[in-house]
Each structure stands twice: as C-alpha cells, then as structure tokens.
Amino acid sequence: MYFSKDNAVTAEMIAERALFHLKYSRGKTLQVATDFDKFWSFAHVVRDLVIDGFTATQEEYLQKDVKRVYYLSMEFLIGKLLERNVLALDILKPSIEALKKLDIDLSTVIQMDIEAGLGNGGLGRLAACFLDSMASMELPAYGYGLRYEHGIFRQEFEDGWQQERPDNWLELGYPWEMVRPEYTMPVFVYGRVENISDTRRGKQPVWTDWQMFKAVPYDIPMIGFQTNTVNMLRLWSARADEGFRLDVFNQGDYVRAVEEKNWAENVTKVLYPSDNTHAGQELRLIQEYFLVSCSVRDIVRRHEKKHSDLRDFAEKNAVQMNDTHPALAVAELMRIFCDEYEMPWDNAWEITTKTCAYTNHTLLPEALETWPVELINRVLPRHLQIIYEINHRFLQRVEMAHPGNSELIQKVSLIEENGHRSVRMANLAVVGSHAVNGVAGLHSKLLRERVMPEMSELYPNKFINVTNGITHRRWLLKCNPELSALITDKIGSGWIHNLKELTKLEPLATDKAFQKEFMAIKRRNKEALGKMIENDLHIPIHPDSLFDVQVKRLHMYKRQLLSTMYLITLYQRIKANPKMDILPRTFVFAAKAAPGYHLAKRLIKLINSVAVVVNHDPDVAGRLKVVFLPDYNVSLAEKIIPAADLSEQISTAGKEASGTGNMKLSLNGALTIGTWDGANIEIAQHVGEENIFIFGHREEELHALAQNSYNPWTYYDNDQELQHVLEAIRVNSFDPSQPALFMDLFDDLTRHGDPFFYMADYRLYLDAQEKVEALFRQPEAWAEKSILNVARMGWFSSDRTINEYAEKIWGIKPISIPDTE
Ligand code: 26W
C-alpha cells in the first residue's frame, strides 16, 4: 500500500528504520557508514514498505483467480529504481527529511542507486515502461526475464574509439531483488528422443539423456504509482544442478566435471550486446530456451494452484512474446501439454494459440531470427520434432486452401531451405499466436505488406497495430521535476494519472508569461547538462545555443552519420566564411555500438575526431560544439532529454519500427526534426505538422527508388556541398596523420550503393535544418511550438499502449488491491 494519506509514513519512522538497517543489515554505525551503506539502508526501508503490498497483490490475484498476463522478454532496461519508488509511494518529503538525520541528502543517495542495464535499447526499455504502466493501472501482470550477471557493457572512449568494459552491476549487491530458491526450476537441454512404449498410449516420444541445470528466480517488486498494486518482475539465474554431469564426476574426472558445472552458470552470464542483428550463437539459443522453459513451468505451477487441470489455461493466462526471442514458448507449451499432461494435439494447439501473442519490433532482415535445424536438433531435439509437427499441420491447411501453390508453401513454411535448413522464428511466432502486432502504424502496415504478405493473407485478423508509448512518470515527472511542477501548478495534478490532461496546457502556448516560465525551465535544464559536460568532458557549453540531440543505439539505419554530415557542412561553411552569421549549436550525441559492428564503431571515431577539430578551431569561435557523451544509459537519458531543444529522429523511412526516444524528447518540449518513419508519423499527427520538422523521402518513394536501381552518385554529382563533405570523410581531413581512416563510411554511401539513402536525403535534411534555425531565432514562436508539443503528447503514455494490449490482445482487467493493515 502507499502511504500518503492519514497513516502517513513520517520522517521519524524512515530515519529510525534506516538506522536499524544500517546497524543490522550493514553492521555499521552512522559514524563509519559510507554513502553506499546509507543508500542500502534507505533502499531497504523503501523495500520494506512494499512487502505488504507485494504479498497482498499476489494473494488477491490468487483468491479472485483473475486472468494474468506474462510479459516474456530477454531484456528489461530498467535503469535506477529508488527515486521512482519513492515517488510511487509518495514519500518524497519525509524521505528528504529523514535522510538529513543520516547526514546525507536524497540526491546523493539516489546517485548511489544501481543501474539495471539488462537491455540493449528500445525493446528492453519498452518492456520496463510496460511494467511501470501495468502496475500503475492495477493490471495482474508479471515480467519474466533473465538476471544477467553483466548487463549492457559500459562504454569508454580511448583516443575516440569505443572500448567495451564489463558492467558489474551486481558487484555490491542489488537491494531491489529478493532471491526465491524455493521456486527453483529445472531446465533440460541436449539429449535425444526415444520412442518408448506406453501401455496406455502406445509408442510415445520421450526426451532422454539430457543435461539438467537449474533456474533460480530473483523477484523485483514493480510498485504501482500511488496504488496498492505491487507486481513483480521475475528474473532467472542459471545454476548448475548437483547432478549436472554426474556421469563425469563418477568417472573420477573431478576437475573436468567442475569445469562443466561452470558451463551451466554461463547461461545467464552476459547480455548479448547486439541490437538488430541475429548472431546465432548456441549459448544465445540456450538463453532463450532457458527463459522460456522456467517461465512457462512457473506459469503452469501458478495455474495449478487454483485449477486441477489445464483446460481453461487460456482463459486464465496470456503470454506476450517480446519479439521472437521467446518464441520457443509456443513449442514449450505444446511439449508440456502433450508430453507431460498427455493432452491431445488439437486441444493443446488451441490452448497454446489462444494464450500466446507476439510483438514484432523490427523489419531489418538481418535482425529476423532463424536457427539452424541442426543446432535446435542438438540442443532441443524434442522441440524440433514439435516444430516440424506444427509446420506439417500448418502447411497441410495452407495446401487445402491454396492447392498446388508451392511458392506460397515455401514462403510461409516455418523451415527455410537454402543450402541448409533453419527455423524461422517469426513464422513460428505468427502461427502459434492469436495476435501479432507491430509497434507503430507504418511499421504494422509494412509488417503486413512487405515482410509477411502471405501470412497476413492467411490470417487477415491476426495482424494488428499497437503503437508504443513511454511511462510519463519516469520520462516527465521524475526526469523533469521543474517542468512537472509548473504543469501541476497550471492545470492541477490530474495529468499524472491521465496524461491526456496535458491538453489543458494548449491555451497557455501563446501566453507570454507562461512561455517565459516554460523556457526558463528549459534553460535551467540546459545549464545543468552543460555543467555536467564541462565537468566530465571539459568542453565549455553555452546554454543559449541550440541543443541538438541525437541519443539512441548507433546504427547505419538511424543515420547518426547524416547529422554528422550536416555538422561537417556547417563547419566547412564557417571555414570558407568565418564571419558568417550562424546559429550557435551544441550537437549532443550518445550511443553505444554493437561490439562487432565495424562501421558503427568507425562512425563513433569519426564523430569524436570531428569534435576535437570543431571544438578547438578559433574560426568557429565557440559557435559549434560537438559532444559525444560516453556510456549512454537510462540515467544519462534522464539528464539529456529535459535539456534538448531539437530531437533528431532521422532514420531511413521504413526502417525504425517505432522509436520511443522521439516520444520522450517531444514530451519534454524538444521539437522534432524527423523522417516520415515509425512513431514520428503519429507524433506529427498529434502535435500538428506545423509543430514538427518532417523531411525526406517517404518509404514508398525509397521503395520505388530501390526498384529503379538507385544511384547515389546522381546526388553527389549535383551537390557541391555534398561532395565537399564526402571528400572530408574520404581523406579524413580531421586528422591527416591517419588518412583514409573513414574510407569504409565513404564507400558505404557511394560505391556500396548507399543502402540507407543518405545521399537522397542529405539536401532535404539541410533544408529542414535551415527552417529549424530560422524558428529558433524567434524565441516566442519556438516556445509556442514547444509548449504545444508537450500539451499534445498525452496519447503517447504507455498507459494508453497497455490499455490497448489489455483490451485487444490479453483480455485482462484492472483489479484494485485492498488496503492492508
Ligand atoms: C536477435 C538480435 C536482436 C536483438 C534485439 C534483434 C532485434 C532486437 C530488437 C528487436 C531491436 C529493437 O530494440 N527494436 C526496437 O524496438 C523498439 C520498441 O518497440 C522500437 O521503438 C524501435 O524502433 C526498434 O528499433
């Protein structure tokens, strides 16, 4: 329960409990306690406050036997939790007071909090926003994921190059988790299938000779915002089983046996850091199965607490697969129903498909998961049989409806055959689900029309859209406290529960006094970020310059190189004409590149090289600054986003499934310069096309260009500035001691055919930037549009998104948890 009302939590009580934890959990006196000890103790006070709600919530779900949703995801990019939890419990004031008695302030304690970076980017952060919304909307929901020992790597720059360092987030302990060894699950891999005679059922496939290991759950409470609901995120950690490789122990090879035991514990060692490329490692497949296997068992276990059989399983459980990474859930449910519960295939299939749903998050072909049949056969032999059986029955039905159409069969088959055979995980997920959704309007359309046209014709009603959203509790209330206070002051606090209420700000957009207050807050946020940059990177920043922000994973399709080309163009213009009148701009980049993504890593080096030159050139006279902030993560995003003037969302049209950073930035008053892609389109529709800078070729146009043998050189030949920029990249004019360092980038845009249409959009982008510049020179006009962006972004709350999932896909309803005494 939350404690704002009568029986309020007092500062005395918090202080007393924190001192108790300091003494009995940390073994410290106040005199010798470190900041971390104080953080730990305070975090435990907060945690203690939610235990009653946590148990009451589970109890209520059980007693009322409500339908629950299980969100299966290989990634949860949570960030820090302490401040969020304090706000959710509405104990900010007494906490500030209480911590004084521990000789520390809340902001220091919050800084000590531990960053849970268990995700790569958009997909993982979306999962975290969804947990927030599901708890805040009182939905019976669970997150299931993996407790990686090392989350996304820490990024450092050495001589401008990205270096990856391990993230040791668990090193000092993690106060938000509770280990639950009593719910440990066994997991089986490898082995073979034997057909063994069963007296009742005849010959039955039996999976034998497997290796067993264990999954230990760690639960993190997800506290609803000022409600009694406390849901949980259950993260599994791999352990060796005592019986693991008992055969080798028995052979007396003790050391090898212990080594192999180690192998089992490697399963949850590290998050795979590539985003949008499928590498196909055996260990990754085992990770995916590990998540699926123990989560599904746990779901079945919970179901059986109230039900003697599994007949109404689909009426009580919904499983949402976050991309195809957990798509083996389809085969695992079938295996459990058929092999372990002896259910007839057709019944099992009906329950499985009614239970499962699949969200697609990317159209990039290199990201679509396929696993070699040979590999699945070795790791999960029984699952491969089941996948074959699913495919066989599915293709039979396709053949009945479209006799003799072998091309169709080959396209929709779960098995791809080109030289060697692989399982197409997206096809498995589509066939095994009752709903398949894309994450923004255009994306869902392209998913239907371009990626899976045959599937969407076979299942016209399965494919739907649910546009992404973000939790405004983190991405406005928490990260931008001053703006939040101003909003509340003007329109009341209703927006915190219903973000659509922000529209009440609209009439204030032209109010000069309000504009002043609003822009003063933006200015202070910029000063704060500027100070941080000066302290950490020793680059002086002018808070009146336009803060031009591009923060997201580094990828060629996201086109950080396009804004770099613009930046180089501006620099070259200044060099040609040092006295020119140019709007002062601070380019802020932050991005991690997948460790094996060579072009992306080179681009980081390029941006850092340009930064060194531009930031020190006296001709520039401080009018351009380039900052590449290292180690982009959730907490850094929370500092950058409130300080942004301009939000760069310039992906190649048709490539960014949705984007969610675009929403966070606009909600905090940044104007967007963006392509007609992903959720940019819906943002334009909501804020009004006059309040956003849309530019560039649209997806249909690019599609047509590609079909008519697109030639990047045409653009090159017709644009002198473009030639000049490309030349600078080709020869590396930023560091003549290392010529040709960036030849690969140059080649990609020219000789290699410019797959992401940089050349086609370059001039259009520059034109749009010119409009940005002109508007920024009119502070009142800019302020008006900025306010209108904030006022009209309410629809992008993940509460709205989750509502759509709950209604259209899951069929679950909110249930309020009674107060506990
Ligand atoms: C198997 C390798 C791999 C790893 C991660 C393939 C694909 C992924 C993710 C699906 C990539 C991803 O994060 N996609 C992003 O999802 C966001 C949430 O829906 C969208 O807003 C982004 O546009 C999309 O790129």
Ligand 1 geometric centre to CA of 618 (Å) = 42
For residue 427, what are its two tokens?
A: 């096809």
List of long-range contacts for 528-537, beta carbons under 8 Å, 24+ apart? 528/639, 528/643, 529/588, 529/639, 529/640, 529/643, 530/586, 530/643, 532/639, 533/627, 533/629, 536/629, 537/627, 537/629
The alpha carbon of 224 is separated from its chain's Cα centroid by a whole number of angstroms, namely 20
323 pocket-lining for ligand 1 (C-beta < 6 Å): yes
pTM given for the model:
0.97
Q: Per-residue pLDDT for 17 more than 70?
A: yes
pLDDT level of residue 198 (50, 70, 90 thresholds): confident
pLDDT score of 380 more than 60: yes
- The finding on whether 276 has its CB within 6 A of some atom of ligand 1 is yes
Q: What's the confidence (pLDDT) of residue 632?
A: 98
Residue with tokens 């030949």: 717
Q: Are 283 and 266 in contact (CB under 8 A)?
A: yes
* Residue 4 clears pLDDT 50, i.e. is over it: no
Kindly give the distance from the C-alpha atom of residue 2 to the centroid of ligand 1, in angstroms, as a whole number. 35
Dihedrals phi, psi of 772, to nearest 5 degrees: -60, -50
Query: Which amino acid is located at 669 in the chain?
Result: G
Instruction: Compute the distance between CA of residue 794 and CA of residue 803 in angstroms, rounded to an integer.
Output: 14
- Nearest one of 408, 426, 453, 407 to 369, comparing CA atoms: 426
Q: How far apart are the first and last CA of the chain?
A: 9
CB atoms within 10 A of CB 48: 12
Phi first, then psi: give them for residue 422, nearest 5 degrees. -135, 160
For residues 483, 485, 489, 495, the Cα torsion angle rounded to the nearest 10 degrees is 80
**Are 329 and 364 a contacting pair, CB within 8 Å?**
no
pLDDT above 70 (res 244): no
Per-residue model confidence as pLDDT tens digits over 423-481: 999 999 999 999 999 999 999 999 999 999 999 999 999 999 999 999 999 999 999 99
Contact yes or no for 572/728 (Cβ under 8 A): yes
Dump pLDDT digits (tens) for 74-103.
Answer: 999 999 999 999 999 999 999 999 999 999
Q: Alpha-carbon distance 142 to 222, whole Å?
A: 9
Pick from 73, 76, 123 the residue to mutate for probing ligand 1's pocket: most ligand atoms within 8 Å of its CB: 123
Pocket lining: 660 vs ligand 1, CB cutoff 6 Å? yes
Choice from 75, 130, 148, 275 to test ligand 1 binding pocket (greatest atom count within 8 A of CB): 275
3-state secondary structure of 27: coil
804 C-alpha to ligand 1 centroid (Å): 20
What is the phi-psi region of residue 191: left when phi exceeds 0, alpha when psi lies from -120 to 50, beta otherwise? Answer: left
What is the per-residue pLDDT across 754-793, written as a single tens digit (0 to 9) for each? 999 999 999 999 999 999 999 999 999 999 999 999 999 9
Nearest residue by C-alpha to atom 11 in ligand 1: 276
Element (H, E) at 625: strand 624-628
State mean pLDDT over 51-57. Answer: 96
The CA distances from residue 817 to 45, 221, 315, 720, in Å, are 22, 15, 21, 66
pLDDT at 821 over 70: no
Does residue 123's CB lie within 6 angstroms of at least one atom of ligand 1? yes
218 contacts 185 by C-beta, under 8 angstroms: no
User: Tokens for 184?
Assistant: 């440990």
DSSP for residue 679: T
Residues 6+ apart with CB under 8 A from 737: none
DSSP secondary structure code for residue 255 in this structure:
H
**35-64 and 92-100 are packed helices; what angle lies between their axes, rounded to 10 degrees?**
150
Closest C-alpha to ligand 1, atom 5 = 275
CA separation (Å) from 795 to 501, 551, 682?
10, 22, 10
* CB-ligand 1 contact for 77 (6 Å cutoff): no
> Per-residue pLDDT averaged across 732-755, rounded?
97
Phi (first) and psi of residue 146, to 5 degrees: -115, 140
User: CA 484 to CA 477: how far, in whole Å?
Assistant: 5
Q: Which two tokens stand for residue 454?
A: 């045959």
**Strand bridging mode 178-179 / 211-223:** antiparallel
pLDDT at 750: 98
Domain boundary assignment for the chain: 352-466, 472-697+764-797
The span from the CA of 56 to the CA of 42, in Å, is 23
Task: Determine the topology of domain 472-697+764-797 in CATH.
Answer: Rossmann fold (3.40.50)
- Bridge partners for 552 per DSSP: none
- Cβ–Cβ under 8 Å, residues 150 and 166: yes
Do 163 and 154 touch, CB atoms closer than 8 A?
A: no
Torsion, Cα of 233, 239, 243, 245 (10° steps): 130
Shortest CA distance to 646 belongs to which of 702, 601, 695, 586? 586
Q: What span, in angstroms and rounded, lies between the C-alpha atoms of 295 and 319?
A: 10
CA of 409 to the centre of ligand 1 (A): 28
Quick check: 114 pLDDT over 50? yes
Question: CB 458: neighbour CB atoms within 10 A?
Answer: 18
Q: Is the CB of 801 under 6 A from ligand 1?
A: no
Check if 760 has its Cβ closer than 6 Å to any atom of ligand 1. Answer: no
The mean pLDDT of 255-284, rounded to a whole number, is 88
Which residue from 152, 362, 364 has its CB within 8 A of the most atoms of ligand 1, so it is best to mutate?
362
Percent of the chain, pLDDT > 90? 94
237 burial via Cβ count (<10 Å: 0-12, 13-18, 19+): buried
Write out the catalytic residue numbers: 361, 552-553, 558, 660, 664
Sheet of 646-649, strand order:
624-628, 585-590, 546-551, 646-649, 671-674, 693-694
Distance CA 702, CA 450 (A): 13
CA separation for the pair 752, 749 (Å, rounded): 6
pLDDT of 249 above 80: no
CA separation for the pair 821, 814 (Å, rounded): 22
CB 759 within 8 A of CB 723: no
- The sign one gets for the Cα dihedral 505, 511, 517, 520 is positive
pLDDT tens sequence across 592-612: 999 999 999 999 999 999 999
Tell me the H-state helices in 101-181: 106-112, 122-136
Ligand 1 atom 1: residue of nearest CA? 278
Q: How do strand 693-694 and strand 435-438 relate by DSSP bridges?
A: unpaired
Dist CA 641 CA 3 (whole Å)? 30
Q: What residues does 205 pair with on adjacent strands?
A: 195
Q: What is the pLDDT of residues 695-733, one digit of tens each?
A: 999 999 999 999 999 999 999 999 999 999 999 999 999
Yes or no: say if 688 and 710 are a contact pair by the CB < 8 Å rule: no
Using CA atoms of 471, 477, 483, 485 in order, give the dihedral in degrees to the nearest 10.
Answer: 140
| Number of helices followed by number of strands (H, E) in the chain | 33, 25
Between CA 721 and CA 244 the distance in angstroms is: 64
